[in-house]
Amino acid sequence: MTFGDVLAITLLIVVTVVTLWAGIVAFTVVFSRRAQMAANALTDTPGKQIGIGALVALISGTLSVVLMGRGGPIAALGFAILAAALAVAVLGSAGLALAIAVRLRELDARYSPLSATTRGAALAVAAGLIPIIGWFFLMPAALFASLGAGFTAMRTKKQTAPQSEPQAIPVAAAAEM
């Protein structure tokens, strides 16, 4: 193994971590309602989400590997299944970042919601970099929990806000009276 190999692997790890962090923050901002549903699922039933995530990972992983091994246009379907599973996992990770952000804001109220979310995403990603414990315990548990929470958030029907009653007198006009 040459110095160039070590540098390439190190750069690959850094780029992967930064890209994952940015993806989690972007999913949190763009898909805020679904990310909040994932956060609620993680805080309410974390063990159930890990189980669902393990099942989804087993099914989607097996299916994508089998299809990618076929070659040709069928392999593209395998890659699409893998990409969809990873997107669902990033959505669940956005929920994990939101759950961490809530705890951070409880500790220090000076954090803005976006600042707490970016820090929560950074903490979630950085936990997987801890040697041995992070690699073999924290990261797989976070992956399964994120996949389960993302899957649960995608299956939950969209909650609509109740319609407000029309006011006889507009609020601004009533204040002037």
Reported as a single tens digit per residue, the pLDDT across 19-60 is 999 999 999 999 999 999 999 999 999 999 999 999 999 999
Place of tokens 């899957």: 151
Q: Residue 168 — pLDDT band, cuts 50, 70, 90?
A: low
Spatial CA neighbour of 53 closest among 65, 41, 63, 64: 41
DSSP assignment string, 11-44:
HHHHHHHHHHHHHHHHHHHHTHHHHHHHHHHHHH
Q: How far apart are CA 126 and CA 20, in angstroms?
A: 10
Spatial CA neighbour of 93 closest among 113, 70, 122, 72: 122
Q: How far apart are CA 153 and CA 33, in angstroms?
A: 9
**Which one-letter amino acid corresponds to residue 81?**
I
Q: Residue 166 — pLDDT band, cuts 50, 70, 90?
A: very low
At residue 169, the pLDDT reads 52
Reported as a single tens digit per residue, the pLDDT across 78-137 is 999 999 999 999 999 999 999 999 999 999 999 999 999 999 999 999 999 999 999 999
At residue 162, the pLDDT reads 46
| Statement: residue 63 has pLDDT above 70 | yes
Any idea what DSSP says for residue 138?
A: I
Query: Do 65 and 78 meet the contact criterion of CB atoms below 8 Å apart?
Result: yes
Domain boundaries of the chain, sorted by first residue: 3-176
Q: How far apart are CA 95 and CA 34, in angstroms?
A: 8
Q: How many CB atoms lie within 10 A of CB 27?
A: 23
| Statement: residue 173 has pLDDT above 60 | no
At residue 76, the pLDDT reads 96
At residue 161, the pLDDT reads 39
Q: Residue 1 — pLDDT band, cuts 50, 70, 90?
A: confident
33-50 exposure pattern, b = at least 16 Cβ within 10 A, e = fewer = ebbbbbbbbbbeebeebb
Retrieve residue 66's tokens.
């089998």
- Find the length of the chain: 177
